[in-house]
Structure 1
Amino acid sequence: MHNTIAASTHRIATPHGTLHAQCWQPATAKLPFSAMPILLLHDSLGCVALWRDFPALLAEQTGHPVIAYDRLGFGQSDARDDRLELDFIATEAVEYFPLLQAHFGFARCIVMGHSVGGGMAVYCAAMHPDSCAALITESAQAFVEDRTRSGIALARTQFRQPDAMQRLARYHGDKAKWVVDAWTETWLAPDFADWSLAAVLPQVRCPTLVIHGTEDEYGTKRHPQQIAAGVQARAELHLMPGIRHVPHREQDVTVARMIRHFLRHPSPGNPPPPDIFRYP
């Protein structure tokens, strides 16, 4: 743990079960938040623990508190045994964002999502414009692309190997099979093939940072391009050469610096300096 960052654990009651959350608090910020928190939304196989050291690094680099939570059915949140509805991405913003806001007591936040969490973050910014001061997407899907489906189909095959499921169970316990099925069976379902962010992107009116790796195995650069072009606000797009689907793990310091620069320079015409793309 970074020495200047204090971490706290939270349990949040919802009508459908209890959520597990953590908050990383910089020494310069105090509760109630003197700086807007950054709210992290995880990917389809993710959870708080799988963000690893990135939330603490992000809090240290930006000076903002960072909040991450396990969606219902993931990580240390309560289990669920139902299938995901096809509107589950929008539902996360409608049902759970207000509960997180009420629990942590922030008036406004910076909402950031990785992969499918990026789509959820888009919906949060669109549906709660008074509560979302900025939007950050990382490796987010904007629609269902052939590359997306191919990557997920390959992953489904790989998870038939016992060791792969055992590794996932370290983070999700007995919920691991549900987590994999919720991801693969939803995204590969014929009824989900027409899903996209096209209708909701124009409702986003806060500054937006879009991060995507050029070698992302679940989506080409069309996804970040559509997100950046679709929002009705200043959008900053960073394609990271040679990076795959998890930029915050592959180049954590670089990603944290991008976010820091974006938050400190909200006006257009302020490209990040070259040293952002180098480690110290």
Structure 2
Amino acid sequence: MAAARRNVRLEIGGGRLEAAWWGPEPEAAPTMVLLHEGLGSVSLWRDFPERLAAATGLGVFAYSRFGYGQSDPAALPRPLTYMHEEAREVLPRVLDAAGVRRCVLLGHSDGGSIAAIHAGSFQDTRVRGLVLLAPHFFVEEAGLAAIRAAKQAFETGDLRARLARHHRDPDLAFRGWNGAWLDPGFPRAFDLQPDIAHIRVPVLAIQGEADPYGTVEQLRLLEREAYCPVDGLVLPGVGHNPHQDAPEAVLAAVSEFTGRLFGLHEPGPANAQ
């Protein structure tokens, strides 16, 4: 039976964030916390959260960052360290406000980077593991070319209209992300090797081989630099959205990872206290 979506609003630092829950409450089971991509939102996860809840038995929680979805606006231009600020200043408050007790951070693209920064910056005992879908740890020229192509699609194609279905202010959402990544100073500001080296929880990282925004070198850096256990999965023919391009493979990998993680260290979702 599909988990019904429960919409909530979180008060964070004087602003309000759009958020939603699927599956068990945090006192009944561990939680999968979803961190969206650079143009994402709660609604852009589509049916993935309910499928994830069904596959893992975990509660699933997602929120739209400031400036995205139906959350309150963010100031532009975004600082080049916007992912670090989200990971270190906003995400801890979100976990507090949502009442999260035990969780895995599942981040896609920018959200994967935010998850890695958070885990590399704090020993947050709530966070038991990371699932990273197409994460970025450093800037690649091929990725910048794809971001420049997205700018063209937003200005002259239908990308703005498509984003407008999911964001209160599609211009703010797009320009905040695109402007930061295309700033000449961004490659110097964005180097997550130090954060990777301080992650102390298990990681599942999934990379599509046909991802225009990042190559398998992102995954290889994680495998080389991390001291924590890393399970890497490369999916042939899959692009930047593994959970949409290959949902069955992703759900199976995440379910196995979380089952092993919580089965080893505490009661599993079926009998959590």
Do the two structures share a fold, i.e. TM-score over 0.5? Answer: yes
CA drift of 1:215 comes to 0.4
Q: What number of residue pairs does the alignment pair up?
A: 260
**1: CA distance, partners of 2:121 / 2:19:** 22
Higher relative contact order (CA 8 A, sep 6+): 2
Question: In the alignment, which of 37, 41, 45 is matched to residue 47 of structure 1?
Answer: 41
The one-letter code matched in structure 2 to 1:196 is D
SS at match of 1:152: helix
Q: How does 1:230-245 map to 2 (within 5 A)?
A: 230-245=225-240
Instruction: Return 5+ residue gaps in structure 1 as ranges.
Output: 268-280
Q: Does 1:74 align with 2:68?
A: yes
Question: In the alignment, which of 102, 105, 109 is matched to residue 103 of structure 2?
Answer: 109
Cα-Cα RMSD: 1.5
Most deviating of 73-82 and 161-170 = 161-170
**2: CA distance, partners of 1:99 / 1:36:** 18
**1: CA distance, partners of 2:162 / 2:243:** 20
2:79 match: 85
SS at match of 1:209: strand
SS at match of 1:256: helix
1:128 match: 122
Assess, with a 3 A threshold, how the Cα gap between structure 1 residues 230 and 44 changes in structure 2: closer, same or farther.
same
1:197 match: 192
Question: In the alignment, which of 39, 58, 64 is matched to residue 52 of structure 2?
Answer: 58
Q: Does 1:14 align with 2:9?
A: no
1:24 match: 22
Q: Deviations over 1:134-184 (max 9, x none)?
A: 0111001110110111110111111112532111111113x1011111121
For the Cα contact (< 8 Å) 1:40–1:112, is it kept in 2?
yes
TM-score (norm 2): 0.91
SS at match of 1:212: strand
1:150 match: 145
CA drift of 1:225 comes to 1.2
**1: CA distance, partners of 2:2 / 2:129:** 25
**2: CA distance, partners of 1:183 / 1:252:** 26
Question: In the alignment, which of 246, 254, 267 is matched to residue 249 of structure 2?
Answer: 254
SS at match of 1:6: coil
1:187 match: 181
CA drift of 1:16 comes to 4.8
Which ranges of 4 or more aligned residues in structure 1 deviate by more than 6 Å?
none
**1: CA distance, partners of 2:17 / 2:6:** 14
**2: CA distance, partners of 1:65 / 1:218:** 30
Question: In the alignment, which of 204, 207, 215 is matched to residue 202 of structure 2?
Answer: 207
**1: CA distance, partners of 2:74 / 2:255:** 36
**1: CA distance, partners of 2:220 / 2:54:** 29
CA drift of 1:102 comes to 1.6
Most deviating of 74-83 and 215-224 = 74-83
Question: In the alignment, which of 32, 35, 44 is matched to residue 38 of structure 1?
Answer: 32
For the Cα contact (< 8 Å) 1:210–1:228, is it kept in 2?
no
SS at match of 2:67: coil
Q: Deviations over 1:251-280 (max 9, x none)?
A: 11221111001122349xxxxxxxxxxxxx
For the Cα contact (< 8 Å) 2:17–2:70, is it kept in 1?
yes
The one-letter code matched in structure 2 to 1:7 is R
**1: CA distance, partners of 2:131 / 2:231:** 9
SS at match of 1:160: helix
Q: Does 1:223 align with 2:221?
A: no
**2: CA distance, partners of 1:253 / 1:141:** 23
**1: CA distance, partners of 2:224 / 2:53:** 28
Q: Deviations over 1:105-124 (max 9, x none)?
A: 22221001000110000012
**2: CA distance, partners of 1:163 / 1:156:** 11
**2: CA distance, partners of 1:51 / 1:8:** 14
**1: CA distance, partners of 2:70 / 2:223:** 33
The one-letter code matched in structure 2 to 1:17 is G
